């Protein structure tokens, strides 16, 4: 039986109190499933959403969260692609229009009419959440629901960013923010896709984690005297691509300097108010590409999940109760999280 009320974390104003309390269980619309969320990853995007520091309004009050993994317990009358009992994933893109020019080419994340879980649609920081059945991820039954949670945003996003970099097996990719939630997965997807990985972040914990997960080189941005020189030396001329998942404008602008001639800088991390500045002469003469990459579409999502279900990437997670979300935000703000925190909605 589906209860009428449940535990969730909700806030009423940007940056306002994060209230862990009893809230109503939502009722799925005709095209939605109701997911009994067992675990939800905490993405840095959730922290941006709570703080309200992006130039895009959230709904208020809001239940955040967009890395929810759980079980389908109810569905609307038009849903024929999920059965009760299936494993389902709540992703950042909740719903797209499928008629605009971007949806026509399957660029669903770029749909101007899209709704986002944990931003404009209540997300996975609750025990029961609704999700549009077309966008919800299908999770194979061999997957651990706690471990797959971070794949639903972080995994999909970095996998798509690596595809966007369009480099070849054997070439170098640098990852800024490599020790964080997206970064630790980027290191592994890159390795699984055949690239050589140079990881950039700070601290002994993150260094060990990155190296254990497959990074050939780790550069501590807080310790190096000349990061650009170190990166170029280690890669004999600069990485062929850079995946920027740090929450740092400085890191992005440095990456434009050290990327290899003809290389590609991919922007993924979204530091508030940041500007990417490229010296035009160098960018032209070295023919560097700078590209944005935003989560992934349904195909990217299923492919990213397949890497996980095949055991090619592991989730470096720490599990904590849903009631402790605020503590996770604090650690995240301080840059103290190696890997990803995942919330157990039963605690």
Q: Is 268 in the site for ligand 8ID (CB under 6 A)?
A: yes
Q: Which does 210 bind (CB under 5 to 8 A by kind): Zn ion, ligand 8ID, none?
A: none
Q: Is 8 labelled a binding residue?
A: no
Residue nearest to Zn ion (CB): 43
Cα separation, 304 vs 149, whole angstroms? 12
* Range list of H helices, 267-313: 280-285, 298-309
What would you report as the CA-atom Rg of the chain, rounded to the nearest whole angstrom? 20
- Taking CB under 6 A as the binding criterion, the range among 14-22, 128-136, 180-188, 207-215 that sits at the site for ligand 8ID is 180-188
Retrieve residue 270's tokens: 């979204």
Q: Is 34 labelled a binding residue?
A: no
Q: Is 48 labelled a binding residue?
A: no
Q: Is 43 in the site for ligand 8ID (CB under 6 A)?
A: yes
Q: Which does 129 bind (CB under 5 to 8 A by kind): Zn ion, ligand 8ID, none?
A: none
Q: Is 183 labelled a binding residue?
A: yes
Cα separation, 108 vs 93, whole angstroms? 8
Q: Which does 34 bind (CB under 5 to 8 A by kind): ligand 8ID, Zn ion, none?
A: none
Q: Is 153 labelled a binding residue?
A: yes
Region of residue 109 (phi > 0: left; psi between -120 and 50: alpha; otherwise: beta): alpha
DSSP per-residue letters across 130-172: EEETTTSEEE-TTS-HHHHGGGGTHHHHHHHHHHHHT--TT-E
Which of 217, 332, 342, 343 touches ligand 8ID (CB under 6 A)? Answer: 332
Q: Do 210 and 201 meet the contact criterion of CB atoms below 8 Å apart?
A: yes
Question: How many residues sit in the footprint of ligand 8ID (CB under 6 A)?
Answer: 32
How many CB atoms lie under 10 A from the CB of residue 49? Answer: 25
Between residue 106 and residue 165, which ones bind ligand 8ID under the rule CB under 6 A? 153, 157
Q: Is 43 in the site for Zn ion (CB under 5 A)?
A: yes
Q: Is 266 in the site for ligand 8ID (CB under 6 A)?
A: no
Cα separation, 152 vs 301, whole angstroms? 7
Q: Which does 200 bind (CB under 5 to 8 A by kind): ligand 8ID, Zn ion, none?
A: ligand 8ID
- Taking CB under 6 A as the binding criterion, the range among 10-18, 40-48, 229-237, 320-328 that sits at the site for ligand 8ID is 40-48
Q: Is 297 in the site for Zn ion (CB under 5 A)?
A: no
List CB contacts of 145: < 8 A, sequence separation 6 or more: 38, 39, 69, 70, 87, 139
List CB contacts of 310: < 8 A, sequence separation 6 or more: none
List CB contacts of 34: < 8 A, sequence separation 6 or more: 2, 25, 26, 27, 28, 72, 73, 74, 75, 128, 129, 130
Q: Is 153 in the site for Zn ion (CB under 5 A)?
A: yes
Q: Between residues 11 and 329, which has the closer beta carbon with respect to ligand 8ID?
A: 329
Which of 180, 238, 263, 316 touches ligand 8ID (CB under 6 A)? Answer: 180
Q: Is 58 in the site for Zn ion (CB under 5 A)?
A: no
Q: Between residues 8 and 180, which has the closer beta carbon with respect to ligand 8ID?
A: 180
Q: Do 135 and 91 meet the contact criterion of CB atoms below 8 Å apart?
A: yes
List CB contacts of 28: < 8 A, sequence separation 6 or more: 34, 74, 75, 76, 79, 130
Q: Is 244 in the site for ligand 8ID (CB under 6 A)?
A: no
Residues near Zn ion, by CB under 5 A: 43, 45, 153
The annotated binding site for Zn(2+) is made up of 43, 66, 97, 100, 103, 111, 153
Q: Which residues are part of a known binding site?
A: 43, 66, 97, 100, 103, 111, 153, 177-183, 201, 206, 268-270, 340
């Amino acid at each position: 039986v589906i209860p009428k009320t449940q535990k969730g974390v909700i806030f009423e104003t940007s940056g306002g109190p994060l209230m862990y309390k009893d809230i109503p269980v939502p009722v799925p619309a005709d095209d939605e499933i109701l997911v009994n969320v067992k675990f939800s990853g905490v993405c840095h995007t959730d922290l941006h959403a709570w703080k309200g520091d992006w130039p895009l309004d959230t709904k208020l009050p809001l239940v955040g969260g967009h890395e929810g993994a759980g079980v389908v317990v109810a569905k609307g009358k038009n849903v024929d692609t999920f059965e009760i009992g299936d494993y389902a994933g709540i992703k950042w893109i909740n719903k797209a229009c499928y008629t605009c020019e971007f949806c026509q080419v399957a660029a669903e994340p770029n749909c101007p009419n899209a709704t986002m879980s944990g931003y404009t649609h209540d997300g996975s920081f609750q025990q029961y959440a609704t999700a549009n059945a077309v966008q919800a991820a299908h999770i194979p039954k061999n997957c651990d629901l706690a471990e797959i949670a971070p794949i639903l945003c972080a995994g999909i996003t970095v996998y798509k960013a690596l595809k966007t970099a369009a480099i070849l097996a054997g070439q170098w990719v640098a990852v800024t923010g490599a020790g964080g939630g997206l970064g630790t997965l980027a290191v592994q997807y890159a390795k699984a896709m055949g690239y050589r990985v140079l990881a950039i972040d700070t601290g002994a914990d993150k260094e060990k984690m990155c190296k254990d997960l497959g990074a050939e080189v780790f550069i501590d941005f807080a310790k190096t005297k000349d990061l650009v020189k170190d990166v170029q030396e280690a890669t004999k001329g600069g990485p062929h691509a850079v995946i920027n998942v740090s929450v740092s404008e400085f890191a992005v602008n440095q990456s434009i300097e050290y990327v290899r001639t003809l290389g590609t800088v991919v922007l993924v991390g979204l530091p508030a108010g940041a500007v990417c500045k490229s010296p035009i002469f160098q960018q032209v003469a070295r023919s560097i590409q700078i590209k944005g990459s935003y989560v992934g579409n349904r195909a990217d999502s299923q492919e990213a999940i397949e890497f996980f279900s095949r055991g090619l990437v592991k989730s470096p997670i720490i599990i904590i109760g849903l009631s402790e979300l605020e503590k996770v935000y604090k650690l995240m703000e301080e840059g103290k999280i190696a890997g990803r925190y995942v919330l157990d909605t039963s605690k």
